Amino acid sequence: MENKYDILIIGGGPIGLACGIEAKKAGLSYIILEKGCLVNSLYNYPANMTFFSTSDKLEIGNVPFVSNNIKPTRSEALEYYRRVAEHFNLNLGLFEEVKNIRKEGIIYTVESSKSHYEAAHIIISTGFYDIPNLLNIPGENLPKVKHYYKDPHFYAKQHVIVVGANNSSVDVALETYRKGAQVSMVIRASEIGERVKYWVRPDIVNRIKEGSIKVYFNSSLAEVRENEVDIIGPDGRITIQNDFVLAMTGYQPDLSFLKKLGINISNDEQQIPEHNPETMETNMKGIYLAGVICGGMNTHAWFIENSRVHAEKIIKKLKVDS
């Protein structure tokens, strides 16, 4: 019957695709709804990004991921997941945002931006890249402040502030510096983050030592204005010239969507959604979580290589129940 499925999967990233693959293998009807393009979060990664994981750890559906180097690039990942989706002929609804979900008896009714669906089970695999962690300072709403970064050429010959000390911040600082930007980093901690990719960390440390990139450790950005910013650090408040602020302060999942569905969220800093780690089912019967969303605000707990198994766990549970 049209628009009636065993499973409706929300999120067309790698783990959402993995869930669709497992559903198809099990003979269950399904549809994957994604509010953006295929693997939308990966598409919005910086153009020159290289993954921390090796290509084999990014594989889904037992389809080999062959890359030119041990660590694949964003463009290689986009090509890989597109080919996987084509290989399995996955049932996808792209650029189709889920607006509302209601439970009617044992069936979930789903309203999207394009249609209506009924499903016996819902899998939520929505990632965390849509909501940036804000600085909450005066001037953050100016156009010169960016929470997303694509390509370094745009910042050539500009005075750039990079906020943050982890992988994205370091990549941005190095790339823009090498395209001719005058780069300063503002870091709350006393050193570059421990999670920075091991082959990149020496590069940023050496650029800082030689003075090519200026760093304000134990400091925070206090205010942004059209042509300058204020920084508060150990020596008090200082003002420096600035053209762009790249606030690489991380992102957070849309937990309000889960709460709206009745999913319990832990009352602590991590705000972990309630779910059974063996089956991935939440406290709402028939609603499952997969991927990074399982970690709540701890967005470093789950990633592609260690959450691929979520798809298998969910479909195994559904097969036992059926």
Residue ranges in the chain modelled with pLDDT below 50: 1
Provide the pLDDT for residue 127. 83
Provide the pLDDT for residue 128. 81
Q: Could you tell me the two tokens for 196?
A: 């920075």
Provide the pLDDT for residue 72. 95
Digit-coded pLDDT (tens) for 124-148: 999 888 889 999 999 999 999 999 9
Residue 298 CB neighbour total at 10 angstroms: 14
Domains of the chain: 4-131+251-321 (3.50.50.60), 134-247 (3.50.50.60)
C-alpha span between 127 and 223 (Å, rounded) = 30
Provide the pLDDT for residue 322. 66
What is the per-residue DSSP string for 61-80?
TT-----SSSS-BHHHHHHH
Digit-coded pLDDT (tens) for 156-200: 999 999 999 999 999 999 999 999 999 999 999 999 988 898 899
Burial of 234 (0-12, 13-18, 19+ CB in 10 A): exposed
Model-level pTM?
Answer: 0.90
Q: Is 22 helix (H, G, I), strand (E, B) or coil?
A: helix
